[in-house]
């Protein structure tokens, strides 16, 4: 299963003819390719998978997704702790 993660676009720039950007994933910054989203704007949220921006989300949609992913992570941690 593949999973796209939402992040906030903090910078967009041209790199060798390709639209690239920096995305903030809760304090972790990563460079991503935005060729598939030429109308992306700084301040928007995008779903990123394997370094490529797939689509734009509203801030509310991004928050809901981030919260759900955090709940999954917390549940996995709880289950791991029960094994010990």
What is the per-residue pLDDT across 18-73, written as a single tens digit (0 to 9) for each? 999 999 999 999 999 999 999 999 999 999 999 999 999 999 999 999 999 889 88
pTM for the model stands at 0.84
Domain that holds residue 75: 5-83
For 29, the token pair is 């910054």
Exposure on the CB side of residue 22, measured as CA atoms within 13 A: 7
What pLDDT does 73 receive? 85
> Where residue 20 sits, what CATH number does that domain have?
2.30.30.140
Give the chain's domain count.
1
pLDDT tops 90 at residue 82: no
Digit-coded pLDDT (tens) for 8-18: 999 999 999 99
């Amino acid at each position: 299963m593949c999973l796209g993660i939402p992040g906030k676009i903090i910078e967009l720039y041209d790199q060798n003819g390709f639209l690239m950007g920096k995305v903030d994933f809760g304090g972790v910054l990563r460079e991503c390719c935005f060729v598939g989203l030429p109308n992306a704007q700084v301040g928007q949220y995008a779903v990123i998978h394997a370094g490529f921006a797939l689509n734009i989300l509203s801030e509310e949609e991004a928050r809901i997704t981030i919260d759900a992913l955090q709940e999954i992570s917390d549940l996995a941690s709880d289950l791991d702790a029960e094994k010990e």
